[in-house]
Structure 1
Amino acid sequence: MFPINQIVVEIEPENVPDEFSVAGEKALGGAFLFDGGKIIAAPVDYVAEAQRKKQELLSQANNMITTLQDAVDLEMATGDEAVSVLEWRKHRVLLSRVDVGKAPDIKWPQTP
């Protein structure tokens, strides 16, 4: 039987939230759960999402700083690059201070 290692259930239309139909294929990717005859929205781990975003933004900042700092150290930096490396370093400090425990109400620093 298909799908393998899955169950098939019949659900009354009134037990299917409008958001499920609007989500389309994405709904089948984990945004919803089957719970006692109803389809419900899966709980969101906002802290984990914020932690992932913070790591992505820090990685981006580190990459930018490394390249710009190389240009500065090798005396190849333009005036704009010299200013930019300082802006990116400040941005990285602000990112490091973001408290992901306050998710989803986080005010993320602007990217330079």
Structure 2
Amino acid sequence: MASAQSRFPVDIVNPPDGRVQLPTDFDPRPEQSEVSWPDTIGSIDWSQMVTAEMKQDAAAAQHLAGVQAEIAGRRGVADSAIAPLQDAVDLDDATEAEATALKAWKKYRVALNRLPEQAGYPTDIDWPAPPA
């Protein structure tokens, strides 16, 4: 029932944001319908379009957020381990084992902070091992 122009429209190149009107000689709404059709039936809203690139960007951003959350969680563990050891060192009351442990935890925390500098970050990460 549609005209040749409606069935074979010219390519839409660089459409503007917002609604783009489709050819008006074809109306897909049934003539005797009790269904309320939206007024936008003959248009496309390009601002609502989601492309494959947009999906890839969103997935990459979600992955990066997950990696950053993991780094923050591991840094929180390191901070919790460092605080009492640092107190003992500050008060000149640390044993040799505590001083060694403090240094190891601080090295671990520095390694976590340097993860974004790794080649392949955030998809390929060589996670540092926490002190034993």
TM-score category (smaller protein): 0.5 to 0.7
Shift of 1:84: 0.6
Q: Which runs of 4+ in 1 moved over 3 A?
A: none
Query: In proportion to residue count, which structure has more helix?
Result: 1
Cα-Cα RMSD: 2.0
Larger Rg: 2
Q: Which residue of 1 aligns with 2:112?
A: 95
CA deviation map 1:26-52 (0-9, x unaligned): xxxxxxxxxxxxxxxxx5722111000
How far off its partner does 1:99 sit?
1.2
* Amino acid across the alignment from 2:129: Q
Q: TM-score, normalised by structure 1?
A: 0.55
Aligned pair 1:84/2:101, yes or no? yes
Quick one: distance in 1 between partners of 2:123 and 2:65? 10
Return the match for 1:57 from 68, 74, 77: 74
CA distance, structure 2, for counterparts of residue 79 and residue 96 of structure 1: 26
Count of residues paired in the alignment? 70
Secondary structure (helix, strand or coil) at the match of 2:109 reads: helix
Unaligned stretches of 5+ residues in structure 1: 1-42
